[in-house]
Amino acid sequence: MQKKLTQSDINNIVWKACDTFRGTIDATQYKDYILTMLFLKYVTDVWKDKKAVYAEKYNNDEVRIERALRNERFQLPAESSFDYLFEQRNESNLGELINIALEKLEDANRSKLERVFRNIDFNSEANLGQTKDRNRRLKNLLVDFSELDLQPSHLEGNDIIGDAYEFLIARFASDAGKKAGEFYTPAEVSTLLAKLLAPQPGNRICDPTCGSGSLLIKLGREVGSNNFSLYGQENNGSTWALARMNMFLHEMDNADIEWGDTINNPKLLEGDQLMKFHIVAANPPFSLDKWGAENAMADQYNRFHRGIPPKSKGDFAFVTHMIETAYEDIGRVGVIVPHGVLFRGSSEGKIREQLIKENLLEAVIGLPANLFYGTGIPASILIFNKGKGDNKDVLFIDASREYESGKNQNSLSEANIHHIVETYKTFKAGASLKADEGLVIEDKYAYRASLKEIEENDYNLNIPRYVDTFEEEEPVDIAETQKEISRLKSELVNVENKMNEYLKELGF
């Protein structure tokens, strides 16, 4: 009996295939070639698996087999299959053949894959070298992937391909340096945000800066059933393509993932209005410069009625967009922001004050430093709730000291995530404050602040103003300290006398 492939097997083979490109182009580029080839190999092997099942069912009746295959969730033209390209691996125009294959795959699956491969060129001299070198690299890539048999019946688990894809995106992110944050949020941070927002069956879920789609997938899985709908928008074309492929591999290919600038050209619309969602979550680019402030005053969707963020820091542009796209009375928003969002003044301070006065802010959660790719600064999660009702309290959590230390990057453990989520649940279940004073939920970790306290702090949300993490130093015993000083002085005199004796013996 054939041994079934594990996720580890797939990870190792595909990571080995990356050697074809290492030293030629950087990880932010070669990830597109590797992940596209993994996608093509997967759809080819799934198609073969389906064809074999129907051949057995219909006793090799070609007409009935073809009719059954036409009803599958995707179509695979013969010239688009990995196997066809592998047969052509020695052709002089191999890059062109791969491009044609992907174009035909798009055309056969317009509703799911339209434009997905238009941003990647396997015949690019600029990226892959001159013809001879390019053909050699592409042939090696096909040979490496030919070692994989991704037919579902040969895999150990249903989600193995999707999980392998996620693994590879994470590995590419770790190699990509500062550019990594553009397409990937660390898995444990996505898990934390998904558990905090706890989407329910029937929910519309959106990530307006969805990157490769990992956070959206985590949110969908958190529902516990298939009764949800996913929506996203991504500004970078190649990253948008990754998100579409990622959704397909996780069998969430009905997700609506749009390509464009969320702030300047929102694509998730119903009629001429912004589409509304039950859950909106995102890890937007930190303090984005030139985000479109010059056009904000005339925004046709009136997203900036609380004020216009500074042109060099777009954090509140994303926050306000997300809040405006959440359903009234029931919508909830979770957004990852740099700490400056909590306390910066001027127009940001006015927007922050208005959001608090509208009783939208529910929780401020400080995260450890060095969690995110491309930046070592600590970040926070802001939770907004349009259904807070009469409860005007705000939860503050300082989780900055609870993390797993790593060589290049820190991470959150399951215990760290559980601590944050359970503290948030405790806050949600607790009664609102009767008095104007706050309440310590957990010493040096979590605090329930009243609206009056926040007002007295001029709507500054800097976490140390609410969570007291001051550690008292042990009291100093003055008498014992003086004794120790006297002892050390005495020892020093003895050492100096000895040294003088040695120097005399040496004639100095």
CATH of the domain at 351: 3.40.50.150
User: Can you give the residue range of the structural domain that contains 481?
Assistant: 476-508
Shared-domain flag, residues 383 and 305: yes
List the CATH number of the domain containing 103. Answer: 1.20.1260.30
Last residue of a domain, one of 175, 198, 218: 175
Assign 357 a pLDDT band (cuts: 50, 70, 90).
Answer: very high
CA distance 94 to 458: 64
CB 17 within 8 A of CB 37: yes
Assign 418 a pLDDT band (cuts: 50, 70, 90).
Answer: very high
pTM: 0.87
Query: Which carries the bigger pLDDT value, residue 355 or residue 496?
Result: 355
Q: Tell me whether residue 267 is in a domain.
A: yes
Q: Tell me whether residue 380 is in a domain.
A: yes
Shared-domain flag, residues 258 and 407: yes
Shared-domain flag, residues 198 and 304: yes
Among the residue ranges 221-235, 398-412, 493-507, the one predicted with the least confidence is: 493-507
Q: Tell me whether residue 2 is in a domain.
A: no
Residue 176 has pLDDT above 70, yes or no: no
User: What's the pLDDT score for residue 471?
Assistant: 57
User: What's the pLDDT score for residue 27?
Assistant: 67
Shared-domain flag, residues 482 and 441: no
DSSP state of 6: P
CB 117 within 8 A of CB 106: yes
Spatial strand order of the sheet with 394-398 comes to: 256-259, 229-234, 204-207, 279-282, 332-338, 379-385, 361-366, 394-398, 446-449, 439-442
CB 267 within 8 A of CB 259: yes
Kindly state the average pLDDT of the residues 229-251.
92
Kindly state the average pLDDT of the residues 266-294.
95
- Phi, psi (deg, nearest 5) at residue 245: -65, -40
User: What's the pLDDT score for residue 168?
Assistant: 79
User: What's the pLDDT score for residue 170?
Assistant: 76
Shared-domain flag, residues 303 and 256: yes
Assign 182 a pLDDT band (cuts: 50, 70, 90).
Answer: low
Q: Tell me whether residue 430 is in a domain.
A: yes
Average pLDDT of every residue of the chain: 90
> Would you give the distance in Å from CA 94 to the centre of its chain?
34
Shared-domain flag, residues 85 and 215: no
Kindly state the average pLDDT of the residues 106-118.
92
Can you tell me whether residue 84 is helix, strand or coil?
A: helix
Q: Tell me whether residue 331 is in a domain.
A: yes
Shared-domain flag, residues 206 and 296: yes
Shared-domain flag, residues 157 and 245: no
- Amino acid identity for residue 508 in this structure: F
Shared-domain flag, residues 48 and 99: yes
User: What's the pLDDT score for residue 482?
Assistant: 83
State in Å, rounded, how far the first CA of the chain is from the last one: 88
Last residue of a domain, one of 125, 154, 175: 175
CB neighbourhood size of 233 (10 A): 24
Can you tell me whether residue 393 is helix, strand or coil?
A: coil
Q: Tell me whether residue 1 is in a domain.
A: no
Q: 37-73, pLDDT tens digit by residue?
A: 999 999 999 999 999 999 999 999 999 999 999 999 9
Query: Which carries the bigger pLDDT value, residue 474 or residue 412?
Result: 412
User: What's the pLDDT score for residue 329?
Assistant: 95
Shared-domain flag, residues 395 and 371: yes
Query: How many independent structural domains does the chain possess?
Result: 3
418-456 b/e (C-beta count within 10 Å ≥ 16 → b): ebbbebbeebeeeeebeeeebbebeeebbbbbbbebbee
Q: Tell me whether residue 471 is in a domain.
A: no
Shared-domain flag, residues 429 and 481: no
The size of the chain, in residues, is 508
Last residue of a domain, one of 175, 202, 225: 175
Q: Tell me whether residue 258 is in a domain.
A: yes
Shared-domain flag, residues 459 and 487: no
Assign 21 a pLDDT band (cuts: 50, 70, 90).
Answer: confident
